[in-house]
Amino acid sequence: MSKVVSREIHLTSRPDGMPVPENFKLVEKTLGPGEDEVLVRNLYMSIDPAMRPPLSNGQTPLDEPMGGGAIGKVVDSDNESYPVGCYVQHRFGFREYYLSKGDDLQVVKPEGEPLTTHLHILGGTGLTAYGGLLVTGELKDGENVFVSAAAGAVGSVVGQIARIKGCRVAGSCGSDEKVEYLLDELGFDYAFNYKTCSIAKELHIGLPEGIDVYFENVGGKHLDAACGQMRPLGRIPVCGMVSAYNNKGARSEGVTTLSNMIYNRVTMKGFVVYEFAHLRDQFLSDMRQWMSEGKIKYRETIMQGIDQAPLALIGLLGGENTGKMLVQLAEDN
């Protein structure tokens, strides 16, 4: 096996508030593959809001390569389970190459769909939306659904699944262009820009009968507004609270409307995508079917090159993405 030079992103200082490029450093490393090892050239990596809190709470180590979902191609191998040319998925993004013993790789076999979809709509993002809405949210056909961060990776899938189930769907997002995308391209019944309006007023207009399921991606003011308008036996599957991730301890803004949960017997329940691993086959079959019927669409925001990875994370937290935020690390050739 020959040696390669790989560039990788290290966290060098802990951000206070929104991360800045100076919190990160691009470092060059030479990798020399050894016996039984597999050398993966990373092609695409995922950028996720959940990467933010560990930058400040100590979970992401300083001066080491950061981690995160990625898909790559095997370019050198001493392991017959991962021959040269096969695609693999793993948790070691933020670097151009990854050297593995094979035990932390998962083979990806695209069935005609773009490779990138395995990092979102056919991967963890899609499963998060599917399980969070149908299992934790216990969605029933024809209900009234509100989803926040609706033009993002998870939110856009949530809204479309709810539409497939005959629900009335309202979504919030951070720009007028995203509002147009939700209404015109994804078929939402109602959408609004939370930066320029009152969330509570918009919810009264968009879902006048109240909310049966609020798919919570944001927290703070969104939860405050939605919780006050939950219908009897409503459910709030808590997926994430991105508005809090830049705050110390990822603390969200206060919520004043929780008393509405009492007589309306509202359930609020957190979940993590790993709980839905057993649904994977059913999820993939449903999602592929819906995509082939044109009922589920997606967008990607793709930044180019390892040096852009910190800016991609900062951009995601600032709402620069529509759909899934990815970084392309190499051409697939």
Ligand X SMILES: NC(=O)c1ccc[n+]([C@@H]2O[C@H](COP(=O)([O-])OP(=O)(O)OC[C@H]3O[C@@H](n4cnc5c(N)ncnc54)[C@H](OP(=O)(O)O)[C@@H]3O)[C@@H](O)[C@H]2O)c1
Contact 145/129 with Cβ under 8 angstroms? no
The distance of closest approach from Cβ of residue 196 to ligand X in the complex, given in angstroms and rounded to an integer, is 12
| Burial label, 1 (beta-carbon count in 10 A; 0-12, 13-18, 19+) | middle
Q: Which of 6, 24, 5, 7 is nearest to 15 (CA)?
A: 24
60 binds ligand X (CB under 6 A): no
- Among residues 23, 117, 321, 328, the one that binds ligand X under rule CB under 6 A: 321
Given the complex with ligand X, which of 108 and 151 has the nearer CB atom? Answer: 151
273 binds ligand X (CB under 6 A): yes
Q: DSSP for 38-63?
A: EEEEEEEEE--GGGHHHHHHS-S-TT
49 binds ligand X (CB under 6 A): yes
The distance of closest approach from Cβ of residue 124 to ligand X in the complex, given in angstroms and rounded to an integer, is 6
- Among residues 115, 271, 299, 305, the one that binds ligand X under rule CB under 6 A: 271
The distance of closest approach from Cβ of residue 2 to ligand X in the complex, given in angstroms and rounded to an integer, is 36
- Among residues 5, 50, 205, 233, the one that binds ligand X under rule CB under 6 A: 50
Element (H, E) at 224: helix 221-227
The distance of closest approach from Cβ of residue 54 to ligand X in the complex, given in angstroms and rounded to an integer, is 12
The distance of closest approach from Cβ of residue 197 to ligand X in the complex, given in angstroms and rounded to an integer, is 13
Sign of CA dihedral 124, 125, 126, 129: positive
Q: Per-residue x/- mask for ligand X, residues 67 to 106, rule CB under 6 A?
A: ----------------------------------------
Structure tokens at 136: 């934790």
Given the complex with ligand X, which of 305 and 319 has the nearer CB atom? Answer: 319
Q: Which stretch binds ligand X (CB under 6 A): 29-37, 207-215, 237-245, 284-292?
A: 237-245
136 binds ligand X (CB under 6 A): no
Given the complex with ligand X, which of 56 and 243 has the nearer CB atom? Answer: 243
Output the CA–CA distances (angstroms, integers) from residue 159 to 71, 172, 206, in the order listed. 26, 11, 14
User: Which residue matches tokens 């709402």?
Assistant: 319
Burial 25-54 (b: 16+ CB within 10 A, else e): eeeeeebebeeebbbbbbbbbbbbbebbbb
Q: Which stretch binds ligand X (CB under 6 A): 77-85, 137-145, 207-215, 265-273?
A: 265-273
- Among residues 69, 123, 137, 152, the one that binds ligand X under rule CB under 6 A: 152
The distance of closest approach from Cβ of residue 321 to ligand X in the complex, given in angstroms and rounded to an integer, is 5
- Among residues 9, 153, 250, 312, the one that binds ligand X under rule CB under 6 A: 153
Given the complex with ligand X, which of 41 and 163 has the nearer CB atom? Answer: 163
Within 245-264, the residues that bind ligand X by CB under 6 A are none
Given the complex with ligand X, which of 44 and 97 has the nearer CB atom? Answer: 44
Q: Which of 101, 122, 100 is nearest to 111 (CA)?
A: 122
Structure tokens at 305: 């090159």
Q: Where would I find the beta strands (DSSP E) of the chain?
A: 4-11, 24-31, 38-46, 70-77, 87-90, 97-100, 106-108, 144-147, 168-173, 190-193, 211-215, 230-238, 267-270, 300-304, 324-328
Number of residues counted as binding ligand X (CB under 6 A): 30
Q: For residue 92, give the DSSP letter.
A: B
303 binds ligand X (CB under 6 A): no
Within 176-235, the residues that bind ligand X by CB under 6 A are 178, 217-218
| 67 phi and psi angles, rounded to 5 deg | -120, 170
Contacts with ligand X by CB under 6 A lie at: 48-50, 125, 128, 149, 151-155, 173-175, 178, 217-218, 239-243, 271-273, 316-317, 319, 321, 325
